[in-house]
Structure 1
Amino acid sequence: MRWFGGFTPGGPTRSPEGARLIWSDPPLWAAGDWPERYVRTAEGNGRRLAVFGPCAASSHDLDRALYEPGPFGAGRMWSGSYAVVRQGQSGDTEIFTDPASALPLYTTRFQGGTAWGSSSRALAALGSGGIDTAWMAAFLLDRQNPAPRRSAWAGVAPVPAGSRLLLKTTGSASVTSWWSPSRRSYEEVVPLVAEALHEGVRARVEGVKVSSDVAGIDSTTMAVLAAQHGLVLGLTAHPDGVTEGGDMRYARQVPGLDHAEFPLRRSHLPFTPADLELPATDGPAPSSGLWASFSGQLLAVADRGSFCHLTGDGGDNLFLSPPVHLADLARSGRWVRMGRDALEWSQLRRESPWPLVKAALSGSVARLHRPWMTRPQWLTAPTAEPVTPPRDADAVLIADLRGAARAAAADVELAAALGLELANPYFDGALLDAVVSVPAEDRFSVRRYKPLLVDAVGGHLPEAHRTRVAKGVFAGDFHRGVRMNLPYLLTLADGRLAAAGLIDPGPLRAALHGVALGARAVWPPLLAALTAEMWLSAVESEKPVRWSPAREETR
Structure 2
Amino acid sequence: MKDRRARWYGGCAPGSRPVAAPVGARLLWRDPALWVCGGWQPEQVRTLALGSARIAVLGPCSATEHDLARALSAPELATVARTWAGSHTVVRLTERGRVEVLADVGAASPLYTVRAPDGAVWGSSSLALSSLTGGSVDTGWLAAYLRDKHSPASGLSAWAGVTPVPAGHLLTLGSEGGMTLASWWKPMRRTPHEASTALRHALGEGVRVRVSGVPASTDLAGMDSTTVTLLAAQCGPITGVTVHPAGVTTGGDMEYARALDVPGLIRSPFPLAARHLPFSATDVPLPATDEPAPSTAVWAMFADQLGTVASAGSVCHLTGDGGDNLFSSTPAHLVRLARSGHWARMFGDARDWARLRRQSPRPLLTAALRGNAYRIGRADFGRPKWLAAPVPKVSAPTGPDADMALVAELRTVARSAYAELQLADALGLALHNPYFDGAVLDAVVSAPAEQRYSARRYKPMLADTFADLLPDAHRTRAAKGLMVGDFHLGLRMNRRRVLGLADGRLAALGLVNPAPLRATVHAAALGAETVWPPLLSVLAAEAWLEAVERAPGTEWTRNAPTPAGAP
**Fold similarity call, TM over 0.5:** yes
* 1:6 aligned residue: 11
Counterpart check, 1:506 vs 2:511: no
Q: Distance in 2 between matches of 1:244 and 1:338?
A: 41
Counterpart check, 1:302 vs 2:310: yes
Q: Distance in 2 between matches of 1:125 and 1:15?
A: 12
Counterpart check, 1:207 vs 2:213: yes
Structure 2: which amino acid aligns with 1:129?
G
1:148-198 per-residue CA deviation (whole Å, 9 max, x = no partner) reads 311111100011101110001122111111111112222220111000111
Counterpart check, 1:410 vs 2:416: no
Q: Distance in 2 between matches of 1:324 and 1:236?
A: 33
C-alpha distance 75-119 of structure 1, shift in aligned 2 (>3 A): closer
Contact 1:27–1:550 (CA under 8 A) maintained in structure 2: no
- Secondary structure (helix, strand or coil) at the match of 1:458 reads coil
- Secondary structure (helix, strand or coil) at the match of 2:95 reads coil
Structure 2: which amino acid aligns with 1:156?
V
Bigger mean CA deviation after superposition, 381-390 or 254-263: 381-390
Q: Distance in 1 between matches of 2:169 and 2:505?
A: 35
Counterpart check, 1:426 vs 2:439: no
Structure 2: which amino acid aligns with 1:402?
R
Superposed displacement of residue 524, structure 1: 1.3
Structure 1's unaligned 5+ residue stretches are: none
Structure 2's unaligned 5+ residue stretches are: 1-5
* 1:400 aligned residue: 409
* 2:504 aligned residue: 495
* 1:444 aligned residue: 453
- Secondary structure (helix, strand or coil) at the match of 2:224 reads helix
* 1:111 aligned residue: 117
- Secondary structure (helix, strand or coil) at the match of 2:271 reads strand
* 2:362 aligned residue: 354
Superposed displacement of residue 369, structure 1: 3.2
Superposed displacement of residue 290, structure 1: 0.9
Structure 1: which amino acid aligns with 2:204?
H
Structure 2: which amino acid aligns with 1:113?
G
* 2:160 aligned residue: 154
Superposed displacement of residue 315, structure 1: 0.3
Counterpart check, 1:384 vs 2:389: no
Counterpart check, 1:85 vs 2:91: yes
Superposed displacement of residue 409, structure 1: 0.4
- Secondary structure (helix, strand or coil) at the match of 2:557 reads strand
1:371-415 per-residue CA deviation (whole Å, 9 max, x = no partner) reads 333111111110122334342321221111111111110000000
Bigger mean CA deviation after superposition, 224-233 or 544-553: 544-553
User: Of 327, 332, 342, which aligns to 2:335?
Assistant: 327
Q: Distance in 1 between matches of 2:239 and 2:127?
A: 33
Counterpart check, 1:341 vs 2:345: no
Q: Distance in 2 between matches of 1:550 and 1:69?
A: 34
Superposed displacement of residue 334, structure 1: 1.6
Q: Distance in 2 between matches of 1:178 and 1:513?
A: 49
Alignment of 1:237-276 (within 5 A): 237-256=243-262, 257-276=265-284
User: Of 185, 196, 202, which aligns to 2:191?
Assistant: 185
1:328-356 per-residue CA deviation (whole Å, 9 max, x = no partner) reads 21122221210110121122233332332
* 2:228 aligned residue: 222
Q: Distance in 1 between matches of 2:531 and 2:188?
A: 35
Q: Distance in 1 between matches of 2:392 and 2:238?
A: 48
Contact 1:16–1:548 (CA under 8 A) maintained in structure 2: yes
Structure 2: which amino acid aligns with 1:484?
M
RMSD, aligned α-carbons: 1.4
- Secondary structure (helix, strand or coil) at the match of 1:435 reads helix
Q: Distance in 1 between matches of 2:395 and 2:414?
A: 18
Q: Distance in 1 between matches of 2:345 and 2:169?
A: 36
Counterpart check, 1:365 vs 2:370: no
TM-score scaled by structure 2? 0.95
Superposed displacement of residue 112, structure 1: 5.1
Structure 2: which amino acid aligns with 1:276?
V
Superposed displacement of residue 321, structure 1: 1.9
Superposed displacement of residue 267, structure 1: 0.3
Q: Which runs of 4+ in 1 moved over 4 A?
A: 72-76
Identity %: 54
